[in-house]
Chains A and B, each alone.
Chain A
């Protein structure tokens, strides 16, 4: 299950992810990013409540962040737990995001 909520504060749009970002839950994430994310200067993906992500989920997060960056929007992924941070680090997630 994926719980997803979003808030806007000034120029920052925050997407809070809770639960699992995986093959069977990414549609809800795509829905928020494709239809509800406003034109803004910064998007923050708050992963404080995220405890699992498979390769599909990791890719969804990465592609969303890369699309934002290509549009000139600052994208940041924050509050990952240690296991998820390590997993994303090993896959090169942060290296790719940093080079975009």
Chain B
């Protein structure tokens, strides 16, 4: 099967079925515990995210990282491919993103640094990843976003059934040896909801081969947008599950919803 190292100087033993099953269970536990569901609260904002891999582990991740000066960073990323290889790379990315974020580097510069760091390795693999990085600053009541090829986040204002895609662009990470990432500054108000997602959500297909598509997502988000962030995430995942049933979703799916409220008290 060739699953063992070809560079080891001693004979390698192929894992048996039980060993593989044990490894798979542990990998799934790592995935669920560290990357599954998480919430974070800062003055004026609650964020909730959930990542559902297609297999036991996957190539999506999200993170909610407190910023040194206050506020919160949302990172969502999707590496090319699925399964164990993608998950290994995504684990590396998650750690690197946390380290860079600890220095308070703004989103655009963060993506530059991550791009430079990952380009040599991912070029050898002919791989890339898409990333969105967004900093919420409570004092300014704004979100500063940068993107490396990631789907546009959706902004839903209260009492509005229409969402605005936040059109922030940049080349996917590790496609070019050097890249610059511009930032977009988005003022936010009480009741706003901001949705980040990976493309597995909109590419989900039903038995007839129809895609859930951005239309399905925006329709569901409009219907759920008055709810709290965890309920919105649960509702959107449920909507996709209903759409694809009895089929399964063919890709990793990750969602992060941020809800904004008064700074003086929790939303």
* A contact set with B: CB distance below 8 Å: 23, 52, 54-56, 58-59, 62-63, 87, 90-92, 95-96, 99
Which of A58, A91, A96 is the most central at the interface, judged by chain B CB atoms within 10 Å of its CB?
A91
Residues of A within 8 Å of B203, CB to CB, are 52, 54
A99 and B128 contact, CB distance less than 8 A? no
B121 within 8 A of A: no
Residues in A with CB closer than 8 Å to B78 are 55
Whether the Cβ atoms of B151 and A55 lie closer than 8 Å is: no
The tally of CB-CB contacts under 8 A between chains A and B is: 50
Bound Cα distance A52, B79 (Å) = 18
**B78, B171, B211 pick with most chain A CB within 10 angstroms:** B171
Q: Which residue of A lies closest to B127 (CB)?
A: A59
How many positions in chain B have a CB within 8 Å of any CB in the partner chain?
25
B126 to A59, Cβ gap below 8 A?
Answer: yes
Residue pair A55, B126 in contact (C-beta under 8 Å): no
B149 an interface residue at 8 Å Cβ cutoff?
A: yes
Nearest to A62 among chain B residues (CB) is: B175
Beta-carbon contact of B175 and A23 below 8 Å: no
| Distance to closest chain A CB from B135 (angstroms) | 21
Least CB distance, A95 to chain B, in whole angstroms? 5
| Contact yes or no, B130 A91, CB < 8 A | yes
- Kindly state whether residue B254 has any CB partner on chain A within 8 Å: no
- The CA of A55 and the CA of B125, in the complex, are separated in Å by 14
Interface of B is mostly: loop
Question: Does A56 lie within 8 Å of B175, measured CB to CB?
Answer: no
- Per the bound structure, the CA–CA distance linking A16 and B201 in Å amounts to 28
Closest residue to B147 on the A side, CB-wise?
Answer: A90
B109 at the interface (CB under 8 A from A): no
Find out whether the CB atom of A23 lies under 8 angstroms from the CB atom of B176.
no
* Cβ–Cβ contact A54 & B175, under 8 A: no
Pick from B79, B82, B172, B179: contact of A91, CB below 8 A: B172
Does B251 touch A at the CB level, under 8 Å? yes
Residues in chain B within 8 A of chain A (CB atoms): 78-82, 126-128, 130, 148-152, 169-172, 175-176, 179, 199, 203, 211, 251
What CA separation (Å) do A91 and B170 show in the bound complex? 7
**Distance in angstroms between the alpha carbons of A4 and B236 in the assembled complex:** 36
Docked Cα-Cα span, A99 to B175, in Å, equals 11
B149 and A54 form a contact (CB under 8 A):
no
Q: In whole Å, how far is B244's beta carbon from the nearest beta carbon of chain A?
A: 15
Contact indicator A92/B80 (Cβ below 8 Å): no
> In the complex, what residue of chain A is closest to B179 when comparing beta carbons?
A92
Which of A23, A52, A95, A99 interacts with B82 by CB under 8 Å?
A23
| Interchain CB contact under 8 A, B251 and A54 | yes
The answer to whether B81 touches A92 (Cβ under 8 A) is: no
Q: Which residues of B contact A62 (CB under 8 A)?
A: 175
Task: Kindly list chain A residues whose C-beta atoms are within 8 Å of the C-beta of B172.
Answer: 91-92
Say yes or no: B128 contacts A59, CB within 8 Å: yes
- Best-buried of A59, A87, A92, A99 by chain B (most CB within 10 Å): A92
A87 to B81, CA, bound (A): 16
Instruction: Given contacts A90-B151, A91-B130, list 15 more A-B pairs with CB under 8 A.
Output: A23-B81, A55-B81, A55-B128, A55-B130, A59-B127, A59-B128, A90-B149, A90-B152, A90-B169, A92-B169, A92-B172, A92-B175, A92-B179, A95-B171, A96-B171
